[in-house]
Chain A
Amino acid sequence: MPSYTSPHASRPGDVAGTLKLLAWLVLAIALIVLDHRGGWLAQLRHRAVAVVQPLWWLAGMPARIGDTLSESAATRNHLASENRVLRNALLVSGARVARLQAASAENAHLRELLGAARRNGGLDVQLAPVLDVDLDPTRQRLLLDAGTRDGVSLGQAVIDAGGLVGQIISVQAGTATVLLLTDPDHAVPVMVARSGVRLLAYGSGRSDRLALANVPLSADVRVGDVVLTSGLGGRFPAGFPVGTIVALHPDDSHAFLVGDVRPAARLDRGRDVLLLREQATR
């Protein structure tokens, strides 16, 4: 195949090109270091994210449209049968609720008798839809379709039906970013439900694992134990399920144990999460 450029003609251009490459590379690396280490760019990033917000909204649109279509395409027959099933389920749930109400009333009564510290009874939560967008899969983040406009604030704990999901790390007008429990940068103070041993659960970067580090050999911790938030540190309220211990093994020094925890929350599925309004510090 004939060469369309003579190799000598582009020499001076090559040098200039390489210099330009170096300049841009240095700029890129400076950005990476600033963003990764210093976090000086946080403010700038915060502003700029407002610009790309519509893009996120747009990218989530096909999923939303798909949902709407599949819902409206359901046939009458299907709806009728679904209706019947739901009616049944409602009856059963109604019965359960009645029982729970009785239990709750009894519970409240007992609490009063015990003179327990006054707690506000129901959790004050807010439902927030997950914006259907993949942020970088190697970082464990979630984008919510709710922001300062909806009263979301920085540091709020996020839960789902299973347990703790994470915390809000940045809020814009219409969206908020959740740092999941499983992000390598995340740690949550926990306590073993059975024995009360206090530990720290770190994110592992995988959505189905948390890591317990530095568990003393003598600590009363077993495989199968449920861990709850301990409420220490004031960021998360106490008593929310974090996960179940699935494995314990000695660490490299054989002085401590490390544990694997399966998160209780379903971090990789579900369309909605709950934001806790209740302040952890009372």
Chain B
Amino acid sequence: MSRNSPGWVMPASLLAALLLGLLPLPVPLQPYRPYWLALVMVYWLIEAPDRFGLGFAFLSGVLADLCFGTVLGEQALRLTVMAFIVQRFRAQLRFFPLSQQALAIAGLLLNDRVVVAVVHLALDEPQPPLAAWWSPLVGMVLWGPVFLLLDRLRLGGRK
């Protein structure tokens, strides 16, 4: 199935996720910004596991680090950890209904916040604001739309 997906969808989704991550938001809303890149990456890991793996997660993480000005390697680490978990549970995740998938995504994103906290603690950097712990919930709500949109784009190109 993935062999037939048009080649531009993956780079375009990655670019869109990076742009959405950089888009200026009003200051009080900033901590709630969902981790778009993670949503997009999880989609590709679930749907096209033969093409996208840990290396893909790592490289997109490095790219994100460059874009967001975070310590080089931080997001690479976060995304690699997330990709590994997704790969382990891919068989189950793939056949979950969308609602259950969204719950699993919330769990993944929450785990990601823990990784962030640990990395910042280890580097002696300031912790993100407490409100950032809500962003997994935003991610959970957005998983459905993101999944359906990417599915439409990926399969729509197959004639």
Chain A residues with a Cβ under 8 A of chain B? 1, 3-5, 14, 17, 20-21, 24-25, 27-32, 34-36, 41, 45, 48-49, 51-52, 55-56, 58-60, 62-63, 132-139, 141, 177, 184, 205, 268
Residues of B within 8 A of A137 (CB): 30-31, 128-129
- Pairwise interchain contact A4-B91, C-beta atoms closer than 8 A: yes
How far, in whole Å, are A132 and B55 apart by their CA atoms in the complex? 31
The answer to whether A177 and B69 touch (CB under 8 A), given A27-B58, A32-B119, A55-B18, is: yes
- Pairwise interchain contact A48-B73, C-beta atoms closer than 8 A: no
Q: Binary interface profile of B, 118-129, with partner A (CB < 8 Å = 1, else 0)? A: 011001011111
- A273 → chain B closest CB, angstroms: 16
> What bracket does the count of chain B residues touching chain A fall in?
35 or more
Q: Which of B54-79 contact A (CB under 8 A)?
A: 54-55, 57-58, 61-63, 66-74, 76-77
> Majority SS of interface residues in chain B?
helix
How far, in whole Å, are A135 and B92 apart by their CA atoms in the complex? 36
- Pairwise interchain contact B68-A136, C-beta atoms closer than 8 A: yes
Q: Which of B12-26 contact A (CB under 8 A)?
A: 15, 18-19, 22-25
- A30 → chain B closest CB, angstroms: 7
- Pairwise interchain contact B25-A134, C-beta atoms closer than 8 A: yes
- Pairwise interchain contact B73-A184, C-beta atoms closer than 8 A: no
How far, in whole Å, are A35 and B54 apart by their CA atoms in the complex? 21
- Pairwise interchain contact B73-A35, C-beta atoms closer than 8 A: yes
Can you name 21 A-B residue pairings with CB atoms under 8 Å?
A4-B91, A4-B92, A4-B95, A17-B84, A24-B54, A24-B57, A25-B81, A28-B58, A28-B74, A28-B76, A31-B73, A32-B73, A32-B119, A35-B71, A52-B66, A133-B24, A134-B24, A135-B68, A137-B30, A138-B127, A184-B125
Residues of A within 8 A of B54 (CB): 20-21, 24
